[in-house]
């Protein structure tokens, strides 16, 4: 899955009258506020048209047709065809959002639809729906970070939903030949990162983000991360630290908890089982990725908070 490493963006004050306008538009729209289109690809945008639009950089001159394109792409985010799901639907949504080509009501409608998808308990036979809902919601969170359109209550819901999703991931498939990416932990971490970067997110919400990422540093099922998940999990942690909402003692406790061998008696015991080896592998991968990102940022405040605890923790691991 494509990696987006972003510097911290600027924010502007949210205008509540706009939010009231959005609410009115969505009420008028009725069920479309939360129900995604069911056909993929849609009759208006068959695969041939989507391929042509991709080759043209997703340029659609007519504004109304651009909004219809975005909403039509949402149904393809759970499609089993990796080219349609990832190469067309996700890339199209990312291009439209990053190019600021969608109206605020459309962005809010996408938020509502994908939020419902991430909260859904419906069976997902192929396992793509939630990971790709999380990935596009990371683009929605980025758009809101750069030009706010969500209310504080919407962000509270998004943080809570993102944290619940990341904590609950049990499908650790990354890339599968013929099926493409699922990458639920990494996509969820991307969403947590965009939220952590947003200065409208409170210290309490940052703590929920940190705890959610921490819950997947050592995944269940004796699974070894091999698709860059540790790097992706490091990002929301480091960017949360960069916000300066938590002191050095908080981050020392965090690193201590991550580096603890529990439930093993000590790290030497890790070499006696696959479960122990997976725990050691994933812990070291995360600590190394986090220290690397801290050094890469070269931010004195973040370095002061995290570099020494991370270095010390790595030195104690076998």
Per-residue model confidence as pLDDT tens digits over 241-260:
999 999 999 999 999 999 99
Name the pLDDT band for 37 (thresholds 50, 70, 90). Answer: low
DSSP-derived pairing of the beta strands 175-176 and 180-181: antiparallel
**What does the pLDDT read at residue 286?**
99
Q: What average pLDDT score do residues 23-29 get?
A: 40
Max mean pLDDT among 16-25, 34-43, 294-303 falls in 294-303
Q: What average pLDDT score do residues 129-157 get?
A: 98
Q: 0.75 exceeded by the pTM?
A: yes
Q: What average pLDDT score do residues 201-214 get?
A: 98
Residue 36 pLDDT exceeds 90? no
Arithmetic mean of pLDDT over the chain: 91
Q: What average pLDDT score do residues 87-105 get?
A: 98
- pLDDT top residue among 33 and 305: 305
Name the pLDDT band for 39 (thresholds 50, 70, 90). Answer: confident
Residue 89 pLDDT exceeds 50? yes
Residue 6 pLDDT exceeds 80? no
Q: What average pLDDT score do residues 176-201 get?
A: 98
A 10 A CB-CB count for 141 gives 26
CA 300, 156, 10, 98 torsion: positive or negative?
Answer: positive
**What does the pLDDT read at residue 38?**
67
Residue 280 pLDDT exceeds 70? yes
* Cα separation, 187 vs 279, whole angstroms: 21
**What does the pLDDT read at residue 17?**
42
**What does the pLDDT read at residue 163?**
98
Nearest to 264 by CA among 211, 312, 317, 210: 317
Name the pLDDT band for 221 (thresholds 50, 70, 90). Answer: confident
C-alpha 187 chain-centroid distance: 4
């Amino acid at each position: 899955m494509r990696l987006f490493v972003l510097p911290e963006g600027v924010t502007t004050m949210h205008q509540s009258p706009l939010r009231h306008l959005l609410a009115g538009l969505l009420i008028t729209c009725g069920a479309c506020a939360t129900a995604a289109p069911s056909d993929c690809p849609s009759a208006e945008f068959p695969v041939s048209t989507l391929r042509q639009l991709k080759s043209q950089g997703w340029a659609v001159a007519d504004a109304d047709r651009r909004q219809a394109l975005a909403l039509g792409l949402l149904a393809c985010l759970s499609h089993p065809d990796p080219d349609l799901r990832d190469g067309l639907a996700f890339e199209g949504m990312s291009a439209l959002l990053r190019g600021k080509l969608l109206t605020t009501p459309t962005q809010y409608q996408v938020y509502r639809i994908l939020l419902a998808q991430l909260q859904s308990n419906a069976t997902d036979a192929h396992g793509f729906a939630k990971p790709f809902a999380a990935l596009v919601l990371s683009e929605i969170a980025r758009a809101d970070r750069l030009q706010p359109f969500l209310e504080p209550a919407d962000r509270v819901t998004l943080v809570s939903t993102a944290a619940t999703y990341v904590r609950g991931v049990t499908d650790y498939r990354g890339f599968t030949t013929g099926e493409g990416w699922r990458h639920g932990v990494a996509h969820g971490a991307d969403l947590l990162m965009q939220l952590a970067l947003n200065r409208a997110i409170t210290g309490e919400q940052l703590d929920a983000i940190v705890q959610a990422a921490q819950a997947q540093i050592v995944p269940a099922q004796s699974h070894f991360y091999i698709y860059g998940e540790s790097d992706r999990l490091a990002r929301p942690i480091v960017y949360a630290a960069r916000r300066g909402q938590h002191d050095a003692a908080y981050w020392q406790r965090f690193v201590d908890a991550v580096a603890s061998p529990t439930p093993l008696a000590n790290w030497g015991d890790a070499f006696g089982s696959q479960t122990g080896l997976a725990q050691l592998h994933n812990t070291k991968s995360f600590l190394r990725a986090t220290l690397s990102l801290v050094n890469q940022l070269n931010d004195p405040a973040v370095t002061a908070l995290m570099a020494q605890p991370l270095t010390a923790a790595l030195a104690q691991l076998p």
